[in-house]
Amino acid sequence: MDIQFVRLEEKLPPREYKSDLEPTWCPGCGDFGVVTALTRAFSEEKLDPSALSLVSGIGCSSRLPLWMNAFGLHSCHGRAVPAAVGVRLAKPEIPTIVTAGDGDLFSIGMEHFPHAARKNFNMVVISMDNRMYALTKNQVSPTSRKGYKGSLTPYGNIDEPFNVLAFSIASGATFVAQTYAGNPKHMTEIIEKAIEHPGFAFVNILSPCPTYNKIDTFKYYKGRLIDINNELGHDPSDKEKANYYAEHALDADNPDAENLEPFHGKVPIGVFYQTRKETFEEKVAKLKEQYKPENPDTVWDEILNKYKP
Amino acid sequence: MAFDLTIKYAGEGGEGVISSGDFTMRAAANLGYDVVTFKSFPAEIKGGYALSQVRISDEKILSQGDGFDILVAFNGEAYEVNKPLLRKGNVLIWDGPEGGDFEPEIEELEEKGVILYAVPMSKLAKEEVGAYITKNVIAMASVFTLFDFPIEVLKEEIVKKFSRKGEDVVNLNFKAIEVAQKYIKENIKKIDPYKLPGPKPKKDVIIVEGNEAIALGAAAAGVKVFAAYPITPATTVGNYLAPIILKTGGYVYQAEDEISSMAIVVGASFAGVKAMTATSGPGVSLMQELIGLASMTETPAVIVDVQRGGPSTGMPTKHDQADLFAAALGGHGDDQRVVIAPTNVEENFHLTIEAFNLAERYQLPVLFLTDASLSLRAEAIPTPNIKEIQSKLIERPTLKKGEVNPEDIQNIYRYQITEDGLSPFLAPGESPKPYTATGLEHGENSYPRTTPKERTEMMDKRFRKIQNIEDENPHLIEWDLGDLQEGEKADIAIITWGLTASIAKEAIQRLRKKGIKVAALYPKLVYPVPKKAIEKVASMADIVLVPEANYMGHLAKFIRMFTDVPPSKIVQFNIYRGEPFIPKEIEEKVEELLGKQVQA
Ligand SMILES: Cc1ncc(C[n+]2csc(CCOP(=O)(O)OP(=O)(O)O)c2C)c(N)n1
Ligand code: SF4
């Protein structure tokens, strides 16, 4: 069963997807790049601003829907994914994109992500990963590197970072990719692929916070990225290889990363994994078809007759 | 004198106690009688003490009554539990004189005036029918034979229920009926006065339990997304709705928790469809932040809370009315919510529809407070006219593409400030103008705003929506004045809500028969508190009695907090034992209060 998204006949210019609001982000924030990439991808995909929903939680990154010309739901901290599930259940023809932070998705909202992934809801989930909590002024997040100094961990993070890519694959996401806020072209391509992918598409965007995070900066990423598809020839349908690459995605944090296979100190970007499975929406549509009443006019007589004494 | 008979089946869970009650109820309803059942399951999955009580009358039944007339004890535990409740004139049918696991104190009971019939249900089932599982059929058939219920009606019910399982099963049950009939005829001399007077004109009714009524009401209201996480005693709302909603074009979604359920409801409703969840107290606690989001974003949402004994895990299968504070005031900040509460099963159906109407009309979350007892109570209710109901549904004012001139679109705002506070709704895929709903304080166009002026204007706008909610919904406030005129002097005023209201009603009828003037009010709209009606009814008497099944007196405290009723008049009457009131308690409380007053 094919559920088509609402699309326009003609492309709209990318700026048509911006609202009149100027982002309140700090100058140089990586999240600006995400807005640019999204507007380009929406334009390419001919999405209709009046039939498109962007759902977020709370955080610097989660403000993104406010800067966009589309239906947005800026919900509660951690609840972007289930709020988006609500949109999916209500209107499967409306493309739904979650735009939230690493803290929002993988700390307070952690209980939701793997379920939406394993159920394979047809939506895109973008994590703007600055590897910390920015809105609350610098605390560690689940993706913070070891040793990172947050306001509540002034002695440095004593935990290992959480590997969101490996986790997404394990959760059952059918599209898993990583891209970088400093590379609008790659970001746009990946987002387009994610939108086109029928199923749960997770895109981790490395998006620096120049105000607080002085380690995971644009400078740090410069020259340190490796495109696993183009440079290493990775085929996303190869799950074993996808898992292997994902497992090593955080190796660059390591002091002796240079010597580590397969990335030798580089940070991988690209599509790690992609497979086609029936989406949740397709399965529900089938059920509805299967149980649809023969005669809608008499459906209530049938229902009520069951309760007659 | 009206015919009024209560039969109670009690025994071990899994022995057919509950289905005995169901069969008896269906048979009586088929004969044109009004029926109300009360059931109690053990919290355990199997075993434990279970009861099913059926009240049958030729008049409208208000509550489950004070007790029972006929007790069928399946085992020793059932006998022990109910022995203290046996009164003069009651009939006890017990599993004996041989083959059962107990022996009642025959002499002691007979002295008390209890009539005893020994029917060896276990033995007959095992030896005469050859199948122990027919024990409950023997019990039912004995009841039918002894009290003049037409046995064909029981046979019809058995055919209805078991024909799917094959002729052998039906015949086995028929054999059990014959065995019971024969035993009663040969061994029991009837000395009690109870007797069903014969069939009444058949009414067009459906038999539903409280939670079934909610499911049907939701489907009739057009719910499209139902998201919930299992929790006793609310789970069955979803169980009942799941097969129906596929036919009416929606979906029941089992979420990973209640936070998710509520977020899904907000997301779905934001997208433009009717959405709801059903939970109990612990789930409401988890949902509070997102209920606030629905308030702030003015998103319609229906949250059913089937209350159970709390706090914490409390008593998951037991009756309680202690979630009113949490439902009305459990959010942070000043949020706008509506809380409504049904008093019986019929209202569970109609007020569920009303919950959607209120949510759509005022664009906010509506909490629907029912309870564990009501969830399991079955009633025969008039078959609803769904077409008529659907023609009167209130829908949110979604602005549709093509409905406005392109040049006017820019002047339309999702949170437009209006006199009544209500603004146009915009939905993806339907409306021409996108916006971002946000939990941040915002201006008319939904852009974040924090200036003192805009904050004040928006807060005022949101509260303006429900400023006149009492006047706009007189049908959600039930007056019960008997022969009194509004404002006339009464001996006592009674204000109560939820299941307690239906019980109080029966007590009040009895009090009136004794010449006591009672002015009563049963608000179905409990929050915002219907100040005018409460003040009016309270002004009719010097004592305002507020019976509630909770410790703190939630409604009584709300009356103090939100109305000008003099606090010295308010008398709280609280029970919190996990069972509903019985009418007699309220009757006696009133007599006690009025007696005291006369002496003073
Ligand atoms: C229930 C709740 N708890 C805490 C907060 C405070 N809070 C707001 S944003 C945030 C962290 C955001 O981190 P992330 O999602 O990584 O976004 P970023 O700001 O880094 O883009 C926290 C803890 C909140 N808004 N709600
Ligand atoms: S604090 Fe960091 S994440 Fe937040 S807007 Fe500024 S740069 Fe961006």
Q: What is the distance of C-alpha A61 from the center of its chain?
A: 12
Q: Which of residues 199-238 of B touch A (CB under 8 A)?
A: 205-208, 212, 216, 219-220, 224-225, 227
Mean pLDDT on B405-426? 96
Distance in Å, alpha carbon of B589 to nearest chain A alpha carbon: 38
Residue with CA nearest ligand 2 atom 1 = A134
Mean pLDDT on B199-213? 95
Instruction: Using the mean position of ligand 1's atoms as its centre, give its distance from the Cα of residue A132 in Å.
Output: 10
End-to-end CA distance of chain A: 40
Instruction: Using the mean position of ligand 1's atoms as its centre, give its distance from the Cα of residue A89 in Å.
Output: 26
Instruction: Using the mean position of ligand 1's atoms as its centre, give its distance from the Cα of residue A110 in Å.
Output: 13
ipTM rounded to 2 decimals: 0.98
Q: Is B164 exposed, middle or buried (0-12, 13-18, 19+ CB in 10 A)?
A: exposed
Helix axis angle, B151-162 to B135-146, nearest 10°: 150
Alpha-carbon gap, residue A52 to A211, rounded angstroms: 31
Q: Which of residues 375-414 of B touch A (CB under 8 A)?
A: 380, 383-384, 386-387, 401
Q: Is the CB of A34 under 6 A from ligand 2?
A: no
Q: Is the CB of A213 under 6 A from ligand 2?
A: no
Q: What is the tens place of the pLDDT at every residue in B432-491?
A: 999 999 999 999 999 999 999 999 999 999 999 999 999 999 999 999 999 999 999 999
**pLDDT for B600:** 43
Mean pLDDT on B256-267? 98
Structure tokens belonging to residue B131: 């199948």
B271 touches chain A (CB under 8 A): yes
Helix or strand run (H / E) with residue B581: none
In chain B, % of residues over pLDDT 90: 95
If you average pLDDT over every residue of chain B, what do you get? Answer: 96
In chain A, % of residues over pLDDT 70: 100
- Interacting residues of B598 by C-beta distance below 8 A, sequence separation 6+: none
Is B160's pLDDT higher than 80? yes
**pLDDT for B44:** 66
The verdict on a CB contact (< 8 Å) between B273 and A309 is: no
Set of chain A residues whose Cβ sits within 8 Å of the Cβ of B431: 50
- Ligand 2, residues A22, A24, A31, A218: which to mutate, most atoms within 8 A of Cβ? A31
Q: What is the tens place of the pLDDT at every residue in B544-589?
A: 999 999 999 999 999 999 999 999 999 999 999 999 999 999 999 9
- Ligand 2, residues A35, A60, A136, A144: which to mutate, most atoms within 8 A of Cβ? A60
Mean pLDDT on B392-416? 95
CATH architecture of residue range(s) A14-305: 3-Layer(aba) Sandwich (3.40)
Distance in Å, alpha carbon of B575 to nearest chain A alpha carbon: 34
Fold of B477-599: Rossmann fold (3.40.50)
**pLDDT for B42:** 72
CATH architecture of residue range(s) B207-391: 3-Layer(aba) Sandwich (3.40)
Nearest to A274 by CA among A180, A207, A196: A196
AA identity, residue B37: T
Radius of gyration of chain A (CA): 21
The verdict on a CB contact (< 8 Å) between B436 and A49 is: no
If you average pLDDT over every residue of chain A, what do you get? Answer: 97
**pLDDT for B137:** 96
End-to-end CA distance of chain B: 36
Nearest C-alpha in A relative to B23: A309
Residue with CA nearest ligand 1 atom 16 = A103
Q: How many pairs of residues across A and B have Cβ atoms under 8 Å apart? A: 186
3-state class of A269 per DSSP?
Answer: strand
Interface test mutation site (partner A, options B33, B161, B264, max chain A beta carbons within 10 A):
B264
**pLDDT for B598:** 54
**pLDDT for B1:** 57
Q: Is B191 exposed, middle or buried (0-12, 13-18, 19+ CB in 10 A)?
A: exposed
Mean pLDDT on A136-156? 98
Q: Is the CB of A25 under 6 A from ligand 2?
A: yes
Question: Which long-range contacts does B101-104 make (Cβ < 8 Å, 24+ apart)?
Answer: B101/B75, B101/B76, B102/B73, B102/B75, B102/B76, B104/B73, B104/B79
- Right CATH number for B4-187 from 3.40.920.10, 3.40.50.11540, 3.40.50.300, 3.90.1150.10? 3.40.920.10
Is A110's pLDDT higher than 80? yes
**pLDDT for B2:** 87
Mean pLDDT on B388-405? 96
- Ligand 2, residues A66, A130, A151, A213: which to mutate, most atoms within 8 A of Cβ? A130
The verdict on a CB contact (< 8 Å) between A75 and B435 is: no
Please provide residue A304's backbone torsions phi and psi, each rounded to the nearest 5 degrees.
-70, -30
The verdict on a CB contact (< 8 Å) between B256 and A292 is: no
Q: Is the CB of A19 under 6 A from ligand 2?
A: no
Q: Is the pTM value of this prediction over 0.95?
A: yes
User: In CATH terms, are B207-391 and B477-599 the same topology?
Assistant: yes
**pLDDT for A1:** 58
The verdict on a CB contact (< 8 Å) between A72 and B246 is: no
Stretch among A178-187, B386-395, B404-413, B543-552 having the lowest mean pLDDT = B404-413
Stretch among B43-52, B58-67, B496-505, B515-524 having the lowest mean pLDDT = B43-52
Is B599's pLDDT higher than 60? no
Distance in Å, alpha carbon of B242 to nearest chain A alpha carbon: 11
Is B37's pLDDT higher than 50? yes
Residue with CA nearest ligand 2 atom 6 = A26
Q: What is the tens place of the pLDDT at every residue in B83-116?
A: 999 999 999 999 999 999 999 999 999 999 999 9
Domain map of chain A by residue range? 14-305
Alpha-carbon gap, residue A168 to A120, rounded angstroms: 11
**pLDDT for A242:** 98
3-state class of B533 per DSSP?
Answer: helix
Alpha-carbon gap, residue A58 to A135, rounded angstroms: 9
The verdict on a CB contact (< 8 Å) between A307 and B207 is: yes
Partner-chain residue, chosen from B207, B253, B297, that has the shortest CB–CB distance to A309:
B207
Q: Is the CB of A257 under 6 A from ligand 2?
A: no
User: Which comes out higher in pLDDT, residue B88 or B13?
Assistant: B88
Q: Is the CB of A102 under 6 A from ligand 1?
A: yes
Confirm if A104 and A133 have CB atoms less than 8 A apart.
Answer: no
The verdict on a CB contact (< 8 Å) between B428 and A71 is: yes
The verdict on a CB contact (< 8 Å) between A83 and B266 is: yes
B493 touches chain A (CB under 8 A): no
Q: What is the tens place of the pLDDT at every residue in B295-353?
A: 999 999 999 999 999 999 999 989 999 999 999 999 999 999 999 999 999 999 999 99
Is B45's pLDDT higher than 80? no
Partner-chain residue, chosen from A82, A90, A307, that has the shortest CB–CB distance to B271:
A90
Mean pLDDT on B40-58? 84
Radius of gyration of chain B (CA): 27
Which residue reads 């159920």 in tokens? A119
Confirm if B56 and B35 have CB atoms less than 8 A apart.
Answer: yes
**pLDDT for B14:** 85
Set of chain A residues whose Cβ sits within 8 Å of the Cβ of B227: 86, 89
- Interacting residues of B275 by C-beta distance below 8 A, sequence separation 6+: A86, A90, B223, B224, B225, B226, B227, B264, B265, B266, B268, B269, B301, B302
B561 touches chain A (CB under 8 A): no
Is A78's pLDDT higher than 80? yes
**pLDDT for B149:** 96
**pLDDT for A191:** 98
Residue with CA nearest ligand 1 atom 9 = A59
Instruction: Using the mean position of ligand 1's atoms as its centre, give its distance from the Cα of residue B294 in Å.
Output: 19
Distance in Å, alpha carbon of B481 to nearest chain A alpha carbon: 34
Q: What is the tens place of the pLDDT at every residue in A5-49?
A: 999 999 999 999 999 999 999 999 999 999 999 999 999 999 999
